[in-house]
């Protein structure tokens, strides 16, 4: 069944126009159609959080959204947060506080944290742990992630 | 796995959506937040050949007061929207307390009020809470509309009275009477998981501070939201003492629910949890009712 849909979406401030099939997930569109492989895919049923991106500024699971549903909207992926030479303060903090090991979970955690830290500039440890509770990490045991979030909050307040 | 192909419609009005549903019947599925439907499609547990996406229908995302001090919630109001709505916090404090317990922030930003109810998962908080609050659901098809009380809407596991050409469009929640109190308690292995067992309680005291009504509705305790009828009978007209509450909780957990066992918990353990949660939630609800003259 070929029924292509003309999709126009802004990803990381760049406008993309592509003909896509409606059953293509946003996660697959980002990775395969426009080559943004920073968004990871773990479980494809909403549990692991690796695929989290920002949809009009709100964190969402890109594995639980069809690409066609982003028509006319804005998506931000981990590639849109900072550059190698100019890291986002949250990325800087994860680097400095060892908030990652293999890095598989990291893009989803970073995108989850952007709106969280903007709305909660001085979060408690309990609030931080609740904020990342939808993101599974198999490596760090979370402690260094929590440390990194505290450091990121400090940097963002400064 | 990936979802099977389907034909996609993104109507901008309810009328238009109903036309697609009338035309495609059982072949079509409604797409709301997608937070339950898309996982099932990713696993190919469902393979609708037509998807009718409600996300561009702005007329369904309202939260409004009604003339009688109650609340009207549109089917496409997002969990997050309900969670932060100031009117909900004042008029429906039980609902306000419930929202953060549903899934994680990334799911609540998409999942919808109407989607959760239509999906009719007996573990979903909103299903039990809407029965506890005596909600009424407005269903529309091309042939007209009907109102269905929450306790008649859920008829089986993941099954409601919704016909394939019908949409749930809005929910009406009545104002809580004076001297009423509420509570939602649950046990989950991790904070945002589906609960092993939970209970929503709404109680009302009469002028003499005796129990006028006590409604407990359990989640994850049967195929549908389980209303504790026997416990309610036992409490009616009684003073809410430690003893009467304890007795009602016992009856609720032994006679009013019918939980199954699975890898997460045995049926017996669920009954045990239900007993403890029933007692604690009744205590909290009666305490709030007493302070709520
Ligand atoms: C990882 C994860 C954890 C979760 N944890 C919880 C939890 O702890 N508690 C909880 O309650 N929920 C939980 N959920 C489910 C979540 O709340 C969903 O949002 C909700 O169950 C379905 O709402 P939706 O808007 O996403 O509906 P959809 O997935 O879009 O639709 C669900 C079903 O309802 C039908 N439907 C939707 N809207 C309508 C309508 N207006 N009229 C007629 N039919 C309609 C659809 O056709 C479909 O069959 C979780 C989900 C995930 C992925
Ligand atoms: S891949 Fe989307 S939540 Fe796991
Ligand atoms: S760093 Fe490896 S999964 Fe988190």
CATH number for the segment(s) A89-157? 1.10.150.120
How many Å apart are CA B247 and CA B24, to the nearest integer? 51
**CB-based contact B110 A5, cutoff 8 Å:** no
Closest chain B C-alpha to A59 CA, distance in angstroms: 5
Q: Where in chain B is the domain with CATH 3.30.465.10?
A: 58-173
Does residue B293 surpass a pLDDT of 70? no
Tokens at B248, concatenated: 């009602």
Does residue B87 surpass a pLDDT of 60? yes
pLDDT in tens, A37-61: 999 999 999 999 999 999 999 999 9
* Residue in this structure with the two tokens 């909050």, named with its chain if needed: A153
CATH number for the segment(s) B7-53? 3.30.43.10
Homologous superfamily of the B180-290 domain (CATH) = CO dehydrogenase flavoprotein, C-terminal domain (3.30.390.50)
Return mean pLDDT, chain B. 97
How many Å apart are CA B186 and CA B258, to the nearest integer? 16
- Predicted-complex ipTM score: 0.95
How many Å apart are CA A28 and CA A20, to the nearest integer? 11
Q: What percent of chain B has pLDDT over 70?
A: 100
Pairing of strands B50-53, B7-9: parallel
Task: Give the predicted TM-score (pTM) of the model.
Answer: 0.97
pLDDT at residue number B4: 96
Residues B150 and B130 sit within 8 Å (Cβ to Cβ): yes
**CB-based contact B34 A65, cutoff 8 Å:** yes
Cβ contacts of B218 within 8 Å, gap of 6 or more: B128, B197, B198, B199, B225, B226, B228, B252, B256, B257, B274, B278
Instruction: Give the residue among A77, A102, A93, A88 at the shortest CA–CA distance from A146.
Output: A93
Does residue A1 surpass a pLDDT of 80? no
Q: Where in chain A is the domain with CATH 1.10.150.120?
A: 89-157
Could you confirm whether domain A5-80 is CATH 3.10.20.30? yes
pLDDT at residue number B192: 83
**CB-based contact A133 B190, cutoff 8 Å:** yes
A53 CB under 6 A from ligand 2? no
pLDDT at residue number B190: 84
Given ligand 1 and candidates B97, B115, B197, which is best to mutate, with the most ligand atoms within 8 Å of its CB? B115
Determine which residue's CA is closest to atom 43 belonging to ligand 1: B167
A131 touches chain B (CB under 8 A): yes
Q: Where in chain B is the domain with CATH 3.30.390.50?
A: 180-290
Ligand nearest to the CA of residue B170, numbered in listed order:
1
Residues B224-235 have a mean pLDDT of 98
Ligand nearest to the CA of residue A105, numbered in listed order:
3
Q: How confident is the model at residue B1 (pLDDT cuts 50, 70, 90)?
A: confident
Instruction: Give the residue among A149, A31, A28 at the shortest CA–CA distance from A94.
Output: A149
Q: Where in chain A is the domain with CATH 3.10.20.30?
A: 5-80
pLDDT in tens, A118-149: 999 999 999 999 999 999 999 999 999 999 99
Q: How confident is the model at residue B12 (pLDDT cuts 50, 70, 90)?
A: very high
Most B CBs within 10 Å, among A22, A65, A112, to test the B interface: A22
Does residue A2 surpass a pLDDT of 70? no
Residues B246-274 have a mean pLDDT of 97
Class (C level, CATH) for B58-173:
alpha beta
pLDDT at residue number A3: 86
CA B225 to chain centroid, in Å, comes to 8
B80 touches chain A (CB under 8 A): yes
Q: Where in chain B is the domain with CATH 3.30.43.10?
A: 7-53
Q: For residue A18, is it left (φ>0), alpha (ψ between -120 and 50) or beta? A: beta
pLDDT at residue number A86: 96
pLDDT in tens, B97-151: 999 999 999 999 999 999 999 999 999 999 999 999 999 999 999 999 999 999 9
Residue in A closest to B54 by C-alpha? A69
Does residue B55 surpass a pLDDT of 60? yes
Question: Among A30-39, B1-10, B51-60, B220-229, whose mean pLDDT is lowest?
Answer: B1-10
């Amino acid at each position: 069944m070929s029924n292509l849909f003309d999709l126009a979406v802004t990803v990381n401030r760049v406008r993309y126009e592509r003909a896509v099939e409606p059953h293509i997930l946003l996660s697959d569109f980002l990775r395969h159609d426009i080559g943004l492989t920073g968004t990871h895919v773990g479980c494809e049923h909403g549990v692991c959080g690796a695929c989290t991106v920002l949809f009009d500024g709100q964190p969402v699971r890109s594995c639980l959204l069809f690409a066609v549903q982003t028509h006319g909207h804005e998506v931000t992926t981990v590639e849109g947060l900072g550059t190698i030479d100019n890291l986002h303060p949250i990325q800087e903090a994860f680097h400095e506080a060892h908030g990652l090991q293999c890095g598989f979970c990291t893009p989803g955690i970073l995108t989850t944290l952007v709106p969280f830290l903007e709305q909660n500039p001085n979060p408690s440890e309990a609030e931080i742990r609740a904020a990342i509770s939808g993101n599974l990490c198999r490596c760090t045991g979370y402690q260094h992630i929590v440390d990194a979030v505290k450091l990121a909050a400090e940097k963002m307040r400064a | 796995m990936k979802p099977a192909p389907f034909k996609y419609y993104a109507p901008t009005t309810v009328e238009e959506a109903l036309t697609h549903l009338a035309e495609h019947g059982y072949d079509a599925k409604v797409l709301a937040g997608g937070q339950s439907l898309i996982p099932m499609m990713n696993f190919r547990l469902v393979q609708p050949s037509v998807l009718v996406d409600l996300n561009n229908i702005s007329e369904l995302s309202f939260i409004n007061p009604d003339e009688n001090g109650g609340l009207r919630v549109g089917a496409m109001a997002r969990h997050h929207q309900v969670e932060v709505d100031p009117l909900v916090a004042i008029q429906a404090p039980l609902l306000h307390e419930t929202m953060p317990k549903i899934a994680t922030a990334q799911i609540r930003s998409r999942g919808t009020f109407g989607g959760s109810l239509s999906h009719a998962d007996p573990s979903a908080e909103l299903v039990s809470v809407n029965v506890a609050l005596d909600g009424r659901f407005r269903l529309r098809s091309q042939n007209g509309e009907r109102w269905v009380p929450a306790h008649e809407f859920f008829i089986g596991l993941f099954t409601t009275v919704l016909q394939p050409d019908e949409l749930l469009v809005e929910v009406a929640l009545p104002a809580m009477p004076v001297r009423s109190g509420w509570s939602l308690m649950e046990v989950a292995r991790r904070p945002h998981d589906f609960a092993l067992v939970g209970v929503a309680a709404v109680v009302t005291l009469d002028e003499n501070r005796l129990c006028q009504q006590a409604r407990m509705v359990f989640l994850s305790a049967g195929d549908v939201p389980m209303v504790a009828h026997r416990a309610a009978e036992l409490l009616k007209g009684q003073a809410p003492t430690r003893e009467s509450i304890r007795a009602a909780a016992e009856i609720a957990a032994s006679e009013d629910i019918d939980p199954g066992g699975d890898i997460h918990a045995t049926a017996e353990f669920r009954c045990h949890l239900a007993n403890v949660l029933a007692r604690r939630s009744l205590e909290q609800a009666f305490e709030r009712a007493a302070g709520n003259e």
